[in-house]
Structure 1
Amino acid sequence: MWTLRPTFLLTLLGIGSLACATGLPEGVSPVRRAQELREFSQDHGGVDARKGIPIAYPFRLRIVEEETGSPTPAMIALRYAPEGTFAVPAEAADFFGHFDDGPQHRRLLPIFAPHWEPVGAHCVDGTATFYLIPGPWDLWVIKGIEYVPVHEEFETGEAPTPDRTVSLRRWVDMKTRGWWSGDGHVHSTLTNPFQRARLVRWARAMDTHVVNVLEMGDITATWFKQAGFGEAFRYQVGDTVLVPGQECPRTDEFGHMEAMNLSAGLVREPDRYYLYDAMTLGAHRQGALVAFCHVSDQTYQVDQGMSLFVPTGQVNLAEVLQFERLDPALWYVHLNLGWKLAALAGSDVPWGGSIGEVRTYALLGAEEFTADRWFEAARCGRTFVTNGPMIEFSVNGAPPGDEITVESGENLRVRARAWGHPTIGAPRTLEVVAHGRVLASATGVADSTQAIEIERELSSAHGLWIAARATCPNGEVAHTTPIYVNIESKGFEDRAELAANLAVRRTRLDEITVLVRTERESNPSGPIARMGDEILARVAIAREIYERLETGATDLSALRFR
């Protein structure tokens, strides 16, 4: 994604080079900075005579898991309160060379989360060494959303500050419930072992187990190069794994699409670039999953792309949570047509904030964690997305992503549960939705760790999809993939709104037809004009699918792009 958020512009303009509280230039390396400060202290008795500022004294911070007492990677922000400037730990990972058009040095990483006040943080591997001038300091430490974030205030004086240890405590361990976290959308060059080691440290510092690292392209080139694709090019430390994939094709006419867990190589045909099925079919042949990106933001004409390519059954997921925003309206539209689309969340680093600030949880149950099992769970739709609260949901005991068949009028046992931690986001509302309409809701107690629960028996005379969603007062959210309920095997689309929905889909196809005609007139040698006949052939197939759907047909499997 190329849209720059204001907070990210700060990074480009120097959020990573905010004046260090020592007063020394940001460009000086941490090792050299520490050496100069020690020399200044020895030579000038605690005052930097050249700069007229107090000399900084060493301060060492150790970050440990409360349960084990062992050092653990984490994100840390130490801010000099009077000026709002950040001290840079000597051990901070420097993501130089990771981002093709980002800053030359990238240590202060943005985090976009309602519960994270400092905006930025440094990635460390369990220890952090600073040199601090006298005065008041604010310290924040975070490790994803399953740990309670730490915020402390302290003051330094004209003497070394005692070392301190920060213990991070889990408020929930979703692994023990069978749910494993992942970030569906991260961009970083990964061509050498140093880059892989830094990126996996960042993922571990945010407690994110599967990171989909996407080479990004357009019709002319690709960026954020990967060393290769497939199992041999994964990089795993403990239960954290980096998995190469692609975000390509990307156009302003049909939206952006990604492929996760490619096994053989990049799927990109510039001569067929606007024929997105060329990528989806190639990716599926490699066993990969395909998703439309930025569905929540509805950018880059993604609705046109979804109207054209989703009906053929080649898209597995929709990216519905990103940049602190979950707007499911467009996702609901396509679910209401009877298409299965699992929920996906992705940070879109570096245009987003941090790895794992939004995340996709996949249900492995009692199975041992592997990346392949995570992707298979995502393929089956056993996912929920969140940037704070946790959520669980079942219908007749079936988890998200499952399809169940019942008789007309048969009761459906619906169970939903949402919970959180007040320092991150405790849910205030829990809703069960079907075809986008609220069937049941419950309200929780503000700033409480107590779960909100819904247990209802519902009945329906027609098929439907049912999902659960939760919202916190600070704006943090969670949403499950639907469970698909067939009544006597007649489908789960929203028949009540089908005519109106199909009218909009046909309008989108009309817009594509006009696009091809316009491009042929104004840019006859351009890619859309050159691929015009094949694009229009796909429009014709999508129209036929919509026509059959309107007449009540349920088996549309024979209609596929050639």
Structure 2
Amino acid sequence: MGILPVLNRNRGRWRLFLTVWAVLSGYGLTLAQSRLNGHLEVEVTTAGSSRPTPVRVRLTRAGQTVKQLPQQAIGVMYGLWDHADGFGFQPDSSFYINGRFRIALPPGTYQLSLSKGPEFLDQQHAIVVQAGKTQKKTYRLTRWIDMAARGWYSTDGHIHIRRSPREDPLLMSWLQAEDVRVGVLLRMGDFWETYYQQYAFGEQGVYRRDNYLLVSGQEDPRTPELGHALGYGAADKVRYSNEYYHYDKVFDKLHELGGMTGYAHHAETFHGYRGLTLDGLRGKVDVLEILQYCVDETPLRTDHYYHLLDLGFPVTATAGSDFPWCGQDHGHGPPERSARIGNARFYVYTDGPLTNQSWKAGLKAGHTVATSGPMLDFRVNNARPGDRLDLKKGDQLTVSVQAFGHASQVPLDKVELIGHGKVLASVSKTDAGQSARQLTLKLELDTLTRGIWLAARCFAGPKQVAHTTPIYVTVDGGGFHNPETAEQYLQRSESYLREIEQELEKERHNPELRLWHYKKGLKTRIAETREVIAGLRQKWKIAKR
């Protein structure tokens, strides 16, 4: 037969032998490696409960991230432009768990960081892993404040993650790990298409677990020339592709569907102040995102907020992380590096238990505080942020502001009472009776002869700040605008309208810049806004310069 036929006949047997040998050899190596490893088992609860709680975990060794995920890590696809940039790891190499995880690690000393949003105290632990041994650790996280018990529910109003009913339980664990009570997942659009799809809107898009909610919203329209628009709480999404630069048409429909509308990113970037002027002065804007890490290191920006308030237009303060786009190290590297759900949030006061309807009612009433750390309780004659308080001439105002922080995690610096954009009173941690944990400001305002908007503002540790929606005080049924700045802000409004007009005359070949295609419709809207400005000038007897 010769040697070749024999080899051919036994080739299958040799392949089987080699395969088994390779598997057993690999198993031996794996077994040997596992004997060299140690194991870490961690359980995390909260004070007052023995149940494991969702939490954010970061595991490092010698300052380097452990590039291994435990099986219990909760993964959901996320990324810029709806791409699959991330899954189990967060942008800063943290991961989420539902309270327990187990992981095999080479021997050595590791650093374990645990966190659960700003109301809980972060923890850091050094853990020594030994070969062949299992370390079992139980940790209990402690709240330094419970805002939900006070009727205030944390909200991240700006999250971009595609979801279906299958992802809801996973995303809910992400929210609970950051102690975000209401997560608003925004379908994002531009002139060409939409991203981060949501499977349903309104009540059909609400997912609930315990006292936490996932709800749908939209960031659309979005243009470089007029800014990024927001839509909250509507029964459905709204998009008019053929009239994309006519934001007001979207706003009107969202209102018709029971929603609220506004602008993102402080109206700073993407020329959002232009759209805010065009729609805000015509009374179509409900909310403005005043706190976020997208513009620069300073999360709170109020220039355009005070602009509308001083002209007598009530606008509710909101905030949001813009996950996965914006992080706290913006300006020192790619913003996505520390993008984190809930790093900027707003609290909504509800009269009763948290539901989608009670949350919407609180938001529509303006009962909000935007914050990246400090907590605020602001009252004027017992009215809350967003309330309207009509007085008679001679009535006095009793103002109370309390700021809450934590000496190590949210060390308070000062709290201010803001009226018509100016600091009317303030206290700092160095004043008698004040501390880095609590600041209290109480005063009686002199007899008012005209209306005013009043808000509270607080500064704490680095990049930690809070700002309330105003309480709107009127006298004998009048307004709350600021006569001292009215001319300045009306002139500024005119300048923003002229900016739009100048853009309308530029026929651009860049397909991203399509404002000039909507010249006729936008000129009509500019004319309507100028009528509002003229009406205010006449009402307030301001001569046009």
Give yes or no for contact 1:99–1:189 (8 Å, CA) kept in 2: no
Q: Secondary structure at the match of 1:300?
A: helix
- The correspondence for 2:404, drawn from 419, 423, 430, is 419
Q: What is the deviation of 1:526?
A: 8.1
Q: What is the deviation of 1:461?
A: 2.8
Aligned residues: 498
Match of 2:538 in 1: 551
Partner AA of 1:283 in structure 2: L
Match of 2:329 in 1: none
Match of 2:190 in 1: 218
- The correspondence for 2:249, drawn from 271, 274, 278, is 278
Question: Under a length normalisation based on structure 2, what TM-score does the superposition of the two structures give?
Answer: 0.87
Structure-2 change in CA distance of 1:451 and 1:45 (3 Å): closer
- The correspondence for 1:138, drawn from 106, 111, 114, is 111
Q: Secondary structure at the match of 1:259?
A: strand
Match of 1:116 in 2: none
1:227 paired to 2:199: yes
Q: Secondary structure at the match of 2:265?
A: coil
Give yes or no for contact 1:412–1:458 (8 Å, CA) kept in 2: yes
Question: Under a length normalisation based on structure 1, what TM-score does the superposition of the two structures give?
Answer: 0.84
Q: What is the deviation of 1:476?
A: 0.5
Task: Give 1:163-562 correspondences, 5 Å limit.
Answer: 163-191=136-164, 193-263=165-235, 265-295=236-266, 298-323=268-293, 325-352=299-326, 353-365=339-351, 367-444=352-429, 450-459=437-446, 460-519=448-507, 527-552=514-539
Structure-2 change in CA distance of 1:138 and 1:551 (3 Å): same
Match of 1:13 in 2: none
Match of 1:115 in 2: none
Give yes or no for contact 2:251–2:261 (8 Å, CA) kept in 1: yes
Give yes or no for contact 2:202–2:216 (8 Å, CA) kept in 1: yes
Structure-2 change in CA distance of 1:122 and 1:488 (3 Å): same
Q: What is the deviation of 1:43?
A: 3.0
CA distance in 1, matches of 2:48, 2:313: 44
Q: Secondary structure at the match of 1:183?
A: strand
Partner AA of 1:405 in structure 2: D
Structure-2 change in CA distance of 1:131 and 1:463 (3 Å): same
CA distance in 2, matches of 1:122, 1:45: 23
Give yes or no for contact 2:452–2:481 (8 Å, CA) kept in 1: yes
CA distance in 2, matches of 1:445, 1:41: 60
Partner AA of 1:64 in structure 2: T
CA distance in 1, matches of 2:528, 2:304: 21
1:121 paired to 2:113: no
With 159-168 and 334-343 compared, the bigger mean Cα shift is at 159-168
Partner AA of 1:489 in structure 2: G
| Deviation readout 1:398-429 (Å, 9 max, x if unpaired) | 00001111233432111000011133212110
Bigger Cα Rg: 2
Structure 1: 5+ residue stretches without partners: 1-35, 47-54, 111-118, 555-562
CA distance in 1, matches of 2:405, 2:486: 37
Give yes or no for contact 1:78–1:87 (8 Å, CA) kept in 2: no
With 125-134 and 534-543 compared, the bigger mean Cα shift is at 125-134
| Deviation readout 1:160-186 (Å, 9 max, x if unpaired) | 242101101111111111111111111
Structure-2 change in CA distance of 1:237 and 1:95 (3 Å): same
Structure-2 change in CA distance of 1:529 and 1:523 (3 Å): farther
CA distance in 1, matches of 2:511, 2:148: 55
CA distance in 2, matches of 1:304, 1:134: 58
| Deviation readout 1:88-139 (Å, 9 max, x if unpaired) | 22211122367654444422214xxxxxxxx442111111112122222111
Q: What is the deviation of 1:86?
A: 4.9
Structure-2 change in CA distance of 1:524 and 1:533 (3 Å): farther
Structure-2 change in CA distance of 1:510 and 1:207 (3 Å): same
| Deviation readout 1:136-171 (Å, 9 max, x if unpaired) | 211111111111111112222334242101101111
CA distance in 1, matches of 2:134, 2:436: 35
Structure-2 change in CA distance of 1:38 and 1:211 (3 Å): farther
Match of 2:124 in 1: 151
With 285-294 and 125-134 compared, the bigger mean Cα shift is at 125-134
Match of 2:59 in 1: 78
Partner AA of 1:317 in structure 2: V
CA distance in 2, matches of 1:539, 1:254: 13
CA distance in 2, matches of 1:65, 1:39: 41
Match of 1:61 in 2: 42
| Deviation readout 1:202-238 (Å, 9 max, x if unpaired) | 0011111111111100111101111122212221111
Structure-2 change in CA distance of 1:489 and 1:58 (3 Å): same
Structure 2: 5+ residue stretches without partners: 1-24, 327-338
Structure-2 change in CA distance of 1:395 and 1:38 (3 Å): farther
What's the RMSD between the two structures over aligned residues? Answer: 2.4
CA distance in 2, matches of 1:456, 1:478: 20
